[in-house]
Structure 1
Amino acid sequence: MHTSDDAAGHSPGTGVRGEGAGAVRLRLDLSYDGTGFHGWAAQPGLRTVQGALEEGLARVCRVPVPVTVAGRTDAGVHARGQVVHLDLPPAVLAGLPGRSDRSPADALLTRLGGVLPPDLVVRSAVPVPPAFDARFGALSRRYRYRISDGPGVHDPLRRDVLRHRRPLDVAAMAAASAALHGEHDFLSFCRPREGASTVRTLRELSWRRPGEGRADAGLVVATVEADAFCHHMVRSLVGVMLQVGEGRRGVDWPARVLAAATRDPGGPEVPGAAPMCPPQGLTLEHVAYPPDAELAAQAARARTFRG
C-alpha cells in the first residue's frame, strides 16, 4: 500500500532478508529532504532515497541489506516520519558494536550517521517483532502539504513549501474537502496499478493558515491522513482543492470529481481525473502502527484486496 505516495513497498533484488533463518528484524525511522532525490524507489543511474539508504547499510553491514518501506514517495517529496524494516542475520548484528558496549541497534544508528548523505537521516533503529511489517502493518499515513500563496510569506530558505501564484481561500478549500472523508473509490485521484484497488478510507483532509508565532505561520497547510494512499493520490487531492481555493471551481467540484470515478480528462463542466499539484510542498509526517500483539492481524487485513 501507499502515495507513490504509498506504492508497493518491498525492494527488488536479493540480500539478507531471512525471516525463517533466525534473522532479527529492525525498524528504522528516517527523515529526508526529497529535493535531491528521484523519489524513494531504487532506479539504475538515479539518486534515490532507497538507493542511498541501502548503500549505507551495505557499507556498515558489509552485506546487501534490502529494506521494506511504509510508503514510497515521489521525486521531490520529503519525509519527517518515514519507516522501513530490515532483517539482519545474528552474526551481522553482533558484529556492529565492534569493541564498544553499545547495543547492535544503537551501533547501527551511529554508524549510519557517518556514511549517509546530509539530506537523509536515520533518527532511530530498534528491534521489532518478526510480525512487524513497515508497509502492510501500518494503520495510517499522515502527510502535510505546505503552500506559500503570497510574497509576504515566501521563504527562499524553505524547500518543503510550494510557492503558489494566487491567493487561496482556505475556508472554501476546507468546505470542499468534507465530502471526500470516509471510504470511497478514489479512482479520479489515483493512477491505478493493474489489479490494485483504488478504494481507500480518507480520515482527514483539512486546511488551515496558522497565525503569527505558530509553526508554518502564514502558510496554507493541508493535513491528509488515510489508511493508505493510491499512487499520486495526495498530490491529486491537493491539486483539485487548489482549483477551489483559487475560485476557478465551486466547493461542490471535488465531490463531483470523486463521483465521476474516472481517469478521463473531463471538460469545463464535466468532471474528470483530478489535476496533480507539484511534489515539493508534500511531506510524509507520520506512519501509525498497532500494538505488537496486533501486528500480524493488521498485516493480514492490509494484504486483503479492497474491492
Structure 2
Amino acid sequence: MSVRVRLDVSYDGTDFSGWALQPGRRTVAGELLAVLERLFGSVEGLTVAGRTDAGVHATGQVCHVDVPPERWAVLAPALVRKLSGLLPPDVRVLAAAEAPPEFDARFSALARRYEYRVTDAPYGADPLRRRNTLAWPRPLDLERLNAAAAGLVGEHDFAAFCRRKEHASTIRAVARMDWRRDPDGTLVATVEADAFCWSMVRSLVGAQLATGDGRRASQWPATLLTRAVRADEVVVAPAHGLTLVAVTYPPDSASLLARAEQTRRRRDLA
C-alpha cells in the first residue's frame, strides 16, 4: 500500500538535459528523485505531465509519485520546506498534496499550456531575461503572428510540426494559439492543447516567427497541415524561450480515471 502524491514543480531548464532520467546527465527527474528517495527511503512511479526537452523551463509542471504511507504521515506537513532545503536552486517544488489513486499526472491531464517569449528589441534580450527569452534579429509584426496562429487552432494532424515516433499519432487538438506584446515590448505566444508531440510547440513557434518578420505569408503555417511528414523548411525555435506554465485536470476521481482511459487510446481524425 502506498500514497499517491501530486507535486507541482518549477524549474529553470538552462542547465538540465530535459526532464527525463538519462544516465550520466543532469535532469530534473534525476535531481527530484534523488531527494525524494533520501526523504522517503523508496518511491515508485515518478510520472510527469510533460517531458520537457533540454533547456525548456516550467512554472506549472505537475508530476506524481507513490510513497510509503508511514513516511508521508511524518513528512507531509513540512515537505515543501524540506524539499526547498535539499533541491538545487534551479528546481523548486511549489506544492505537495495527497492525490487520489486514479490521478495520473500524464494521462489524466485535460490540457497543457505553454508560453514562448521573444524579443525583437534592437539590443536583444534583457540581461535578466536572457535565459527564458529568445532575441529575434528582425522586427516582428503582432498582427501577422496572430493571423498565422489562428490557422493552427483546432484538431489537425500536426505531422509537419512533429518529430515522428514510430506508431505514435501526430493528431492533436489545439484549443488556443495566440500572441500578445507585453508592456516591456516582449512578444509572448500562448499555446494550449490536450497534448503535444515531440518538438511540436517549438516548431509551431518557429513557423510563425517566419511569418511575423515577413519572410513567409501568414497563411503558410496552416498550409503545412496537409502534410503527412515533417516539413524540413520549418525551423524549430530554440528551447530557452519555452516555458510550461499550466496543466489542468478533471475535478473528481471518476473523471480522472475516465480521462486517463481516453488519453491512452490512439486517436485518428474523424
* Normalised-by-shorter TM-score class: over 0.9
Gaps of 5+ in 2: none
Q: Distance in 1 between matches of 2:170 and 2:218?
A: 23
Q: Distance in 1 between matches of 2:77 and 2:124?
A: 40
Instruction: Find the counterpart in structure 2 of residue 227 from structure 1.
Output: 194
Gaps of 5+ in 1: 1-21, 98-103, 212-216, 266-271
Among 20, 24, 28, which residue is 1:41 paired with?
20
Q: Distance in 2 between matches of 1:27 and 1:64?
A: 13
Aligned-CA RMSD value: 1.4
- Which secondary structure state, in structure 2, belongs to the residue aligned with residue 125 of structure 1? strand
Among 225, 228, 232, which residue is 1:258 paired with?
225
Q: CA deviation at 1:107?
A: 2.9
Among 107, 116, 127, which residue is 1:136 paired with?
107
Instruction: Find the counterpart in structure 2 of residue 196 from structure 1.
Output: 168
Letter of the structure 2 residue corresponding to residue 155 of structure 1: D
Q: Distance in 1 between matches of 2:43 and 2:66?
A: 11
Q: Distance in 2 between matches of 1:114 and 1:62?
A: 17
- Which secondary structure state, in structure 2, belongs to the residue aligned with residue 218 of structure 1? coil
Match status 1:179 vs 2:140: no
Instruction: Find the counterpart in structure 2 of residue 300 from structure 1.
Output: 261
Q: Distance in 1 between matches of 2:228 and 2:127?
A: 38
Letter of the structure 2 residue corresponding to residue 195 of structure 1: H
- Residues 162, 85 of structure 1: CA spacing in aligned structure 2 closer, same or farther, 3 A cutoff? same
Of Structure 1 and Structure 2, which has the larger fraction of its residues in helix?
Answer: 2
Correspondences of 1:55-204 after superposition (within 5 Å): 55-94=34-73, 97=74, 104-151=75-122, 154-158=125-129, 159-204=131-176
Letter of the structure 2 residue corresponding to residue 42 of structure 1: L
In 2, are the aligned partners of 1:54 and 1:66 still within 8 Å (CA)?
no
**Matched length:** 266
Letter of the structure 2 residue corresponding to residue 284 of structure 1: L
Tell me the alpha carbon deviations over residues 19-43 of structure 1, each in whole angstroms, 9 at most, x when there is no partner: xxx2110100010000111111111
Identity among equivalent pairs (%): 55
Q: Distance in 2 between matches of 1:153 and 1:191?
A: 29
In 2, are the aligned partners of 1:26 and 1:128 still within 8 Å (CA)?
yes
Correspondences of 1:273-292 after superposition (within 5 Å): 274-292=234-252
279-288 or 190-199, larger mean C-alpha shift:
190-199
- Residues 153, 264 of structure 1: CA spacing in aligned structure 2 closer, same or farther, 3 A cutoff? closer
- Which secondary structure state, in structure 1, belongs to the residue aligned with residue 128 of structure 2? coil
Q: Distance in 1 between matches of 2:160 and 2:167?
A: 16
Q: CA deviation at 1:59?
A: 1.3
Q: Distance in 2 between matches of 1:114 and 1:63?
A: 19
Q: CA deviation at 1:58?
A: 1.1
In 2, are the aligned partners of 1:167 and 1:246 still within 8 Å (CA)?
yes
Match status 1:243 vs 2:197: no
Tell me the alpha carbon deviations over residues 192-223 of structure 1, each in whole angstroms, 9 at most, x when there is no partner: 21111100000111011123xxxxx2101100
In 2, are the aligned partners of 1:58 and 1:65 still within 8 Å (CA)?
no
Q: CA deviation at 1:66?
A: 4.2
Q: CA deviation at 1:174?
A: 0.4
Correspondences of 1:262-273 after superposition (within 5 Å): 262-263=229-230, 265=232
Q: CA deviation at 1:153?
A: 6.5
In 2, are the aligned partners of 1:76 and 1:280 still within 8 Å (CA)?
yes
Letter of the structure 1 residue corresponding to residue 2 of structure 2: A
Q: Distance in 2 between matches of 1:191 and 1:298?
A: 25
Q: CA deviation at 1:108?
A: 2.4
Tell me the alpha carbon deviations over residues 65-94 of structure 1, each in whole angstroms, 9 at most, x when there is no partner: 441000100110000000000111223323
